[in-house]
A and B are shown apart, each in its own frame.
Chain A
Amino acid sequence: MSVLVDDDTRVVVQGITGGEGKFHAQQMMEYGTNVVAGAVPGKGGQEVEGVPVYDTVHEAVEEENADTSVIFVPPAFAGDAVFESLDADLDLAVAITEGIPTQDMARVNKRLTETDTRLIGPNCPGLITPGEAKLGILPGNIFAEGNVGLVSRSGTLTYQVVDSLTNRGIGQTTAIGIGGDPIIGTDFVDALELFEDDPDTDAIVMCGEIGGEDEEEAAAFIDDYVDTPVAGFIAGRTAPPGKRMGHAGAIVSGSGTGTAESKISALNDAGVPVGDTPEEVADHIEEFLA
């Protein structure tokens, strides 16, 4: 079992004719992902790696029954690419693109509330259900099938923690990289809810980092609604204050939140042990599953 993605997922790759789009479409297919179409304006009628390319996402839906998009479109056009996925009424849109202007994402965020499409990202590695399908750029070979759900704001940190788990023989139901941007689609609370409702997920890893208040909100949610055991990791305990936490965030939220300490203590208060190292996170998961 899994959440959000499995071997029935029918994927359209937006930007499949670009370098990244082509390489990762191929990687996704090699992993077993059902890539049914590409969508690139002006490139309709071509084929990439045997996959038909359409000018619009709407055509990919009509012709190939695509239900999920993975977006490898340059930042200047990526906000529009997400809008296109939402308008085509897909179940899921995964935006890999890094560097989308924040104001574009604010408008996307507003539109999301009016549609049924779920967005993962942007600026994220995507998600993977080991042994079934991966959407995005995650290196498939480090993942293993199993019973741990993972959600993380950082791509490479996800790999690091998964590596520790897999090396101990602990596999994953689904791993979701939600991205580290200020405005994202699916957040910790959404992912935790999905894992809590998944009968095959027996433990959850949540990797956060300094900045924003998503981890604090997740801690409150875990306290109230999550029975599945959760282990956490927070990156950035030694980062100097002020360098990453924007001045603006401090005004809106008041200071004292957004720091590693406040996140770790919120998680601890919700009964979530937070590892000092990725290996310690794996230790906690091992104990949960014993």
Chain B
Amino acid sequence: MKLHEYQAKQVFADAGIPTPASELASDVDGAVAAAEEIGYPVAIKAQVQVGGRGKAGGIKLVEDEDEAREAADEILGMDLKGYHVDRVLVEEAVDFTNELYVGITMDRGEGKPVAMVSTKGGVNIEEVAEEDPDAIAREHIDPAFGMHPYQARKAVYDAGVDQSIARDVSSVLTTLYQLWDDRDGSDAEINPLMVTSDDEVIAADAVMNIDEDALFRQPELAEMEEEAAGGDELEQKADEYDFDYVRLDGNVGIIGNGAGLVMTTLDLVDHYGGEPANFLDVGGGAKAERIANALDMVFSDDNVDSVVFNIFGGITRGDEVARGINEALEQFDEIPKPVVVRLAGTNWEEGMEILNEDLVTVEQTLEDAVQRAVEYAGEVNE
């Protein structure tokens, strides 16, 4: 779960990390009023969760009321890489002399958190990581002890941060780690951490991703998630149904159990000349209702021309899956799109007995099922 910039800034500010004065606005008048209160110049920043907002026209620096009105009018309501902008953050424009990067993330290879500091802030940090990996100082943290103060200092000195601000940057890094640890962060980043002409540091952007699996013990952040909900209609629906779902560009809808098997089904659709419309993992042990919801999900995507169901039961039972498919399809006078079903594993035989074969095409193997679904999708497009 990714917090919006304004939410992450609030969380950072509450913890004591310096952030610029800012206010959230959802209409032009509100944005202008906020700008007046903060004092020009201000930045007007679209609050959508996509990278490269600035380049896409979602961030504008304004000097006076006319410019503020024009920029707010332009940004509010715009479509930014597929996301509708309905809120902007109006923020004090900080006069800076330098930009740094600080971040905390989980290094999955090491199984440990890692703190990172770079003097190459304000730019795409992934590019820095690729082109000049030594420009990012890294310090692994023992998760049982947390970050020792010397580790924050070491990362800051290793990165070559100037003496005059080293203490403040160490302090920001220490606070950031504490936040990351307390709030079950998956990553927490400040890019850029601006350095002012008075040698003060200030978080000009804020990224905070929370481990979804830990939201049960972060009720305050879970509330923020509800506030932040938005985006693609189908993805919202997937959230409601609690599916792992990714929308893709093709026309073969895919439903399966287990991430690896669903990815394999996608790969096979591609292998046999089709194009996957989505990734949908119903997860382990799905009951009939969940299966029906999955079909509803995939049917709601207008791009889908055929659907392939690939279930290999372990903890999931074939009879439950079959009941769910029947339930979902029996509501229709005419099935909207052809459905191919392949059931294997736990209770697949019981499932085959229950499954209403007038409504679906049954295939015994994964390969046959995928090929049949690709064929159906192709026929629609002829």
The chain A residues found within 8 Å of chain B, CB to CB, are 20, 24, 75-76, 98-107, 109-111, 125, 137-139, 142, 152-160, 163, 180, 182-183, 207, 209-210, 212-214, 217, 233, 235-240, 243, 246-256, 276-279
Contact = CB atoms under 8 A, between A and B. Distances in A.
Contacts of A103: 106, 113, 143, 181, 184, 211, 214
Contacts of A212: 108-109
13 contacts: A24-B315, A99-B213, A138-B314, A154-B261, A156-B312, A159-B344, A180-B260, A210-B263, A238-B276, A247-B187, A251-B125, A252-B129, A254-B130
Contacts, number: 185
Interface string B139-175: 0001110000000000000000000000000000000
B144 A111 contact: yes
B264 A105 contact: no
A257 to B, nearest CB: 10
Contacts of A251: 103, 105, 116, 125-126, 129, 136
A103 B113 CA distance: 9
Interface of B: 103, 105-109, 111-114, 116, 125-126, 129-130, 133, 136, 138, 142-144, 181, 184, 186-187, 209, 211, 213-214, 216-217, 246, 248, 256-261, 263-264, 266-271, 276, 279, 283-285, 312-315, 344-346, 366-367
Given A156-B258, A276-B267, 9 more contacts: A102-B211, A106-B113, A110-B142, A142-B344, A159-B312, A159-B314, A217-B109, A255-B126, A277-B367
A260 B331 CA distance: 40
A249 B103 CA distance: 12
Nearest to B264: A235
Contacts of A138: 314
A181 to B, nearest CB: 9
B2 to A, nearest CB: 9
Nearest to A213: B109
B126 A250 contact: yes
A256 B209 CA distance: 22
Contacts of A236: 263, 266-267
Contact of A160 (B107, B186, B264): B264
Which of A98, A139, A249 has the most chain B CB atoms inside 10 A of its CB? A139
B185 to A, nearest CB: 8
Cβ-closest 9 pairs across A and B: A154-B260, A156-B258, A248-B105, A157-B260, A156-B261, A101-B214, A182-B108, A106-B143, A235-B263
Nearest to A180: B259
A98 to B, nearest CB: 7
Contact of A235 (B209, B260, B344, B367): B260
Contacts of A155: 258, 260, 284, 314
A174 B133 CA distance: 41
Contact of B106 (A111, A182, A240): A182
Contact of B111 (A99, A109, A152, A240): A109
A76 B114 contact: no
A160 B113 contact: no
Contacts of A182: 106, 108
B260 A207 contact: yes
Contacts of B266: 236, 238-239
Contacts of B105: 246, 248-249, 251-252
A139 B345 contact: yes
Contacts of B366: 160, 278
B216 A255 contact: no
A100 B213 contact: yes
Nearest to A158: B260
B312 A239 contact: no
A252 B186 contact: no
B94 to A, nearest CB: 24
Contact of A137 (B103, B186, B315): B315
B271 A276 contact: yes
B158 to A, nearest CB: 16
A237 B267 contact: yes
A143 B285 CA distance: 20
